[in-house]
Amino acid sequence: MNVPAIPRAAGANPGALLIRQLLEVPLAQFPEREIVYAGHTRLDYRRFGERVARLGSALTRLGVRAGQTVAVLDWDSHRYLECFFAVPMLGAVLHTVNIRLAPEQILYTINHAEDDVILVHADFVPLVEGIRARIERPVQLVLLADAAGAAAPAGGAGEYEALLAAADPAFAFPDDLPEDARATTFYTTGTTGQPKGVYFSHRQLVLHTLAERAAVLGTGQGHVGQNDVYMPITPMFHVHAWGFPYTATTLGMKQVYPGRYLPEVLLRLIATEGVTFSHCVPTILHLLLTHPLAAGTDLSGWKVVIGGGALPQALARAALARGIDVFGGYGMSETCPLLTLAQLEAPMLERPFEQQLALRCKAGRAIPLVELRVVDPELRDVAHDGASQGEVVVRAPWLTQGYWRDAAAGAALWAGGWLHTGDIGTLDAEGYLKITDRVKDVIKTGGEWISSLALEDLLLRHPAVAEAAVIALPDERWGERPFALVVPKAGQELDPAALHALLADCAAQGLISKYGVPERIEVVEALPKTSVGKLDKKAMRAHWTP
Amino acid sequence: MNVPAIPRAAGANPGALLIRQLLEVPLAQFPEREIVYAGHTRLDYRRFGERVARLGSALTRLGVRAGQTVAVLDWDSHRYLECFFAVPMLGAVLHTVNIRLAPEQILYTINHAEDDVILVHADFVPLVEGIRARIERPVQLVLLADAAGAAAPAGGAGEYEALLAAADPAFAFPDDLPEDARATTFYTTGTTGQPKGVYFSHRQLVLHTLAERAAVLGTGQGHVGQNDVYMPITPMFHVHAWGFPYTATTLGMKQVYPGRYLPEVLLRLIATEGVTFSHCVPTILHLLLTHPLAAGTDLSGWKVVIGGGALPQALARAALARGIDVFGGYGMSETCPLLTLAQLEAPMLERPFEQQLALRCKAGRAIPLVELRVVDPELRDVAHDGASQGEVVVRAPWLTQGYWRDAAAGAALWAGGWLHTGDIGTLDAEGYLKITDRVKDVIKTGGEWISSLALEDLLLRHPAVAEAAVIALPDERWGERPFALVVPKAGQELDPAALHALLADCAAQGLISKYGVPERIEVVEALPKTSVGKLDKKAMRAHWTP
């Protein structure tokens, strides 16, 4: 027989949307496509499907049942992808642990999510050992190791490959899961309070995958086909690497999982594995482009979605000059995450370069099934003129229904029946969203709204500026005034007066309001960041407010 | 404000899958794309959206409420597309009436579906007048007219354009529909009994659209992008023109609705409107290619999905020679309909032409979310070797849940938890399905299964054969024996002995079993057809069985 399909148990629910279905088509149609881990482990989809079944069998033998939670602490790997499928396919919940959090925060999420099993890479065994006494539930630890001889956690349940080798390759996953079963959870860190758990059901992840797939496929700029080669450069713990591993798998794409995000490893994999499609935050792309290895690496034709922050025009220019097809996207942990993509359709590729560049650097247009609005505080739409600002609110069938075990925060998120992103933006007549600020970072001065992001983008145009942050400081006369912090590039000098002149010049050109030019610009050595590398404006306000 | 969106009433259900959502993205992103009717009526998406709102308002003023049924008898038009959206968006059910049925059958479906309002094109007013006295419920008739002065039905509720002109362009559709609300119904005609009603919910149509969109988008052969120009050549009553009008709309494609299917009109529209994407049954493509106008029309680059019957290799060859990117698809009324598409992915385009041709002429590979199996009578998978035959059974989230008000037939359709297509097929190692026969048309002779379709395809290779049908006739010794009927091309002679020799030669080459060569081949003037133009093998068996 040798039918490369996931075996099914009886009791089917033929209309339900289940994660298992994302795996059916690629196993039947692309059994020989490759999945590569860190350049050394290679498997084809047929073997991947068998390993997913073995993992389901192994976890069941460890006692995992529907409704329990399985946590993972790993670098980006084929193992992680196996967990993306096998854990929810058992009816259990996959907790993708943010390994960049402080140990105390990781402990908090493990206890809050009520993890039953933790799969932990050897690199994180010391971390887990350090907090283990304070994990509130009995928990089984499984070691993930890239080489023999890795130190296993004391009293662990075994090593991943050994457990898989002993497991049943024809394990039958349950076929009667309800589509609303919780499938994954991830903890998002705001700049206040403890991490909050967002969660997504089978139905939500299938719909997100289908819409993401429909949004990225196509014949124009920024679109992909089944023969593209995918490598994530947003970690798999972070809302499932933005859902793209599910999308790439269901398309049967060749996939490359890089392990740790070391620039030299990423650049080497792009070249040796023929990577053509990735996604990352602006900082990572900047790191890659400025790495010494980049000069000798052919990056042309590489399609890169930038999210987690606006794509700065300077970075887009540098990437386009290398032949990289770079464009923005937008979403957040609460939205699974994809909401918009800034691809250009064919007629737009006829426009002048600067207009194309501006479009690529926007958040983009709603993907299928996303209802995207920019509204005033009474939830009335602002004009779609590319200038009127308001809060971005959305609906889509895959948004988190709330925060796990935190009903009050969830109710605030969904005030008025729309998910409030907390972002300020504009919509233009072609449906392009541009994020101009965070609701809490916008500077309200003399009755006007000044975008801190717009000021930062202008400051970054100065050749000696490496990083910039603009915050609001209280002002007796104007309510608030902008205050700019800039970090010079290594070995370069920065004169605040020159930056002030640059911004005043921008105001004279109409790029910003003249009220937007900050009186105070300070040169600093570094800016405070959150655990995921975003500017920590709350810390800056706390430090700089008189 | 001028926000080109469908206004919403309060009471939202933010996670539900609703047809309204398919319209949100194109209205926001492609307000200026065109929808063309028969080359004379042109509107952009912005105006289309406004007309959908007006239609919702007009139908509400006529008393249409959630749960009621609105029937349409029209040629393919922008009006029909407006009904595709406005009727379900009211919570009402759209009954797409098969205008090719006999008047008695149309009457049956109108009564069985319990239509409350009938939108009827002037061409079908005499038909409706003829059956009106026997329509069991009180029904309101709305006239659809292409020109002033069309004869309205007696006591009608008005003319479509006049009703729209008087209606509210800012009509707010209900925003709290349940996603499982019935949205559309269509009556499928088997060769036995009365037509049976299949029906689809909002959720099912949204999922079908999203999966169809994901399946047709891409960079390779047979794939489309948002800048393709769509024209259906499968009537809109027939399971919503295979769902493609929804897919084209949600993509924001330019759309061309041709009215009646006159070859000269279709060919002219392809040229003048720049049509690049269509779907039709094999017969129509054959008609177009052999029409005198075809020689002077540039058809290169036109992508055509063939369904409703296998794509014959001879037809595929002729189309490819004209530069048409033709390939098969598969589905049925019960399946919404799309299940598979026979696009070739990039590496397959490197194979020899004859292999590519064979793949294009298969039913194709499962589209996203379709679970496709070929099974023996005990629902066990046959080998995926491209040779082992079995019945095609499927699951997908958009299959009809049964037949409307016919529970027994629905239970048989879903025996064992899988939808039984009634088709015999094979699956190969790359996931390509090939339909070899209907369960009821397969010829069981001496313990072997002979495919009637395979024999027909071979007979069609003879240059003088226009049509061919093979049926099983009872045989005392072998159980059944194949019997072939052939129609010669106009003005050509056909010798049954020559056809017999051709098939014997095919058997000698191993293309068919030697037991498959029919002893009897008859030349006839025409073959009996069903209302939708398919071979009526039931009528043939009744006529030819001794």
Q: What is the pLDDT of residues B506-526, one digit of tens each?
A: 888 878 888 889 999 999 999
Measure CA B239 to chain center: 6
User: Which of B227, B368, B417 is facing A345, going by the closest CB pair?
Assistant: B227
- DSSP line for B183-209: EEEEEE--SSSS-EEEEEEHHHHHHHH
Min CA distance, B14 vs chain A (Å)?
6
Q: Check residue A510 and give its pLDDT.
A: 79
Amino acid B191: pLDDT: 56
Judge: B372–A1 Cβ closer than 8 Å, yes or no.
no
Asked if pLDDT for residue B300 goes beyond 70, the answer is yes
Q: Which of A29, A207, A227 sits opposite B346 (nearest CB)?
A: A227
A91: left (phi over 0), alpha (psi -120 to 50) or beta: left
CA of residue B311 relative to chain centroid, distance: 14
- Contact predicate A117/A64, CB 8 Å: yes
| Residue B449 appears among annotated catalytic residues | yes
The whole-angstrom separation of Cα B438 and Cα A390 is 59
Confidence at residue A176, expressed as pLDDT on a 0 to 100 scale: 85
Task: Identify the residue whose tokens are 């008005």.
Answer: B158
DSSP B47-111: HHHHHHHHHHHHHHHTT--TT-EEEEE-SB-HHHHHHHHHHHHTT-EEEE--TTS-HHHHHHHHH
For B478-510, the pLDDT digits (tens) are: 888 999 999 999 999 999 999 999 999 988 887
pLDDT tens for chain A, residues 1 to 546: 333 444 444 345 678 999 999 999 899 999 999 999 997 899 999 999 999 999 999 999 999 999 999 999 999 999 999 999 999 999 999 999 999 888 999 999 999 999 999 999 999 999 999 999 999 999 999 999 998 888 888 889 999 999 999 999 999 999 889 999 999 999 998 656 789 999 999 999 999 999 999 999 877 788 888 889 999 999 999 999 999 999 999 999 999 999 999 999 999 999 999 999 999 999 899 999 999 999 999 999 999 999 988 999 999 999 999 999 999 999 999 999 999 999 998 889 999 999 999 999 999 999 999 999 999 989 999 999 999 999 999 999 999 988 999 988 888 899 988 999 999 999 999 999 999 988 888 888 877 778 888 899 899 989 999 999 999 999 888 888 999 999 999 999 999 999 999 999 988 887 888 888 999 999 999 999 877 677 888 899 989 888
Whole-number pLDDT of residue A5: 46
Catalytic residue among B24, B114, B161, B449: B449
Please say whether the beta carbons of B472 and B452 come within 8 A: yes
| Res. B388 pLDDT band, cuts 50 70 90 | very high
Task: Give pTM, 2 decimals.
Answer: 0.88
Residue B292, both tokens: 């005198």
Q: Do B372 and A401 touch (CB under 8 A)?
A: no
Q: State yes or no: is A418 an active-site residue.
A: no
Q: Which of A109, A185, A188, A340 is catalytic?
A: A188
B21-200: CATH topology is: Rossmann fold (3.40.50)
Q: What is the pLDDT of residue B532?
A: 66
Residue range B116-128: average pLDDT?
97
For A472, A496, A516, A543, B117, the CA distances from A546, given in Å and listed in that order, are 12, 20, 20, 8, 71
High-pLDDT (> 70) share of chain B, %: 97
Contacts of B368 in chain A (CB under 8 A): 25, 210, 213, 250
Predicted pLDDT at A190: 65
Q: Could you tell me whether strands B140-144 and B158-159 are parallel, antiparallel, or unpaired per DSSP bridges? A: parallel
Q: Do A210 and B206 touch (CB under 8 A)?
A: no
Optimal mutation site among A13, A21, A32, interface B, most CBs of chain B within 10 A: A21
Contact by Cβ (8 Å): B93, B72: no
DSSP symbol at B364:
B
For range B278-284, the mean pLDDT: 94
Structure tokens at B304: 């055509």
What is the model's pLDDT at position A192? 62
- 3-state class of A274 per DSSP? coil
Dihedral pair phi/psi, residue A50, rounded to 5°: -65, -40
Name the residue type at position B444: K
Question: Across residues B334-345, what is the average pLDDT?
Answer: 95
B188 is catalytic: yes
H-run or E-run covering B317: helix B313-321
Residues linked to residue B44 through DSSP beta bridges, in sequence order = B34
Question: What share of chain B in percent tops pLDDT 90?
Answer: 76
Q: Which two tokens stand for residue B517?
A: 């060569």
ipTM of predicted complex = 0.86
Under 8 Å between Cβ of A246 and A273: no
CB A245 within 8 A of CB A232: yes
Can you tell me the distance from the alpha carbon of A270 to that of A231, in angstroms, rounded to the nearest whole number?
8
Reference B467, options B479, B459, B477, B475; nearest CA is B459
pLDDT at A122: 96
Q: For B208, phi and psi rounded to 5 degrees?
A: -60, -45
Residues 6+ apart with CB under 8 A from A351: none
CA distances from A436 to A86, A310, A428, A462 (A): 40, 9, 13, 20
Look at residue A85 and give its three-state secondary structure.
Answer: helix
User: Residue B13: what pLDDT?
Assistant: 63
| Whether residue B337 has a cis bond before it, omega within 30° of 0 | yes
| Cβ pair A333, A239 in contact under 8 A | yes
* Cβ-based contacts of A217 with chain B (< 8 Å): 214, 217-219, 223
Chain A hits for B24, CB-CB cut-off 8 Å, are 366, 371
pLDDT digits over B185-221, tens only?
999 986 567 899 999 999 999 999 999 999 998 777 8
Q: Give the CA diameter of chain B.
A: 80
H or E stretch including A44? Answer: strand A41-44
- To the query of whether residue A449 is one of the catalytic residues in this protein, the response is yes
Please state the rounded mean pLDDT for residues B378-398. 94
Q: What are phi and psi of A375, to 5 degrees?
A: -130, 160
Q: pLDDT tier at B4 (50, 70, 90 boundaries)?
A: very low
Mean pLDDT (whole number) for B351-367: 97
**Closest chain A residue by Cα to residue B388:** A1
Q: Would you kindly state where each structural domain of chain B is located, as residue ranges? A: 21-200, 443-544
Which residue type does B227 have?
N
Q: Where are the beta strands (DSSP E) in B241-379?
A: 254-257, 277-280, 303-306, 325-331, 338-341, 365-366, 371-375
pLDDT for res A1: 30
- A368, amino acid identity: P
Structure tokens at B431: 């996931």
SS (H, E, C) A108-176: HHHHHHCCCEEEEEHHHHHHHHHHHHHCCCCCEEEEECCCCCCCCCCCCCEEHHHHHHCCCCCCCECCC
**What is d(CA B509, CA B74) in angstroms, rounded to the nearest whole number?**
49
How remote is the C-alpha of B481 from its chain's centroid?
32
Taking the C-alpha atoms of residue B140 and residue B110, their distance in angstroms, rounded to an integer, is: 12
Q: How do beta strands A93-96 and A69-73 pair?
A: parallel
Architecture of the CATH domain B443-544: 2-Layer Sandwich (3.30)
What per-residue confidence (pLDDT) applies to B2?
A: 37
pLDDT at residue A377, rounded to an integer: 86
Mean pLDDT of B5-29: 75
- β-bridge pairing B158-159 and B182-188: unpaired
Indicate whether B23 pLDDT > 50.
Answer: yes
Pick from B345, B382, B385, B418 the residue to mutate for testing the A interface (most A CBs within 10 Å): B345
Looking at CA atoms only, how far is residue B427 from chain A in angstroms? 10
| Nearest-angstrom CA–CA distance, A432 and A360 | 10
The predicted-structure confidence for B46-97, as pLDDT tens digits, reads as follows: 999 999 999 999 999 999 999 999 999 999 999 999 999 999 999 999 999 9
**What pLDDT score does A9 carry?**
40
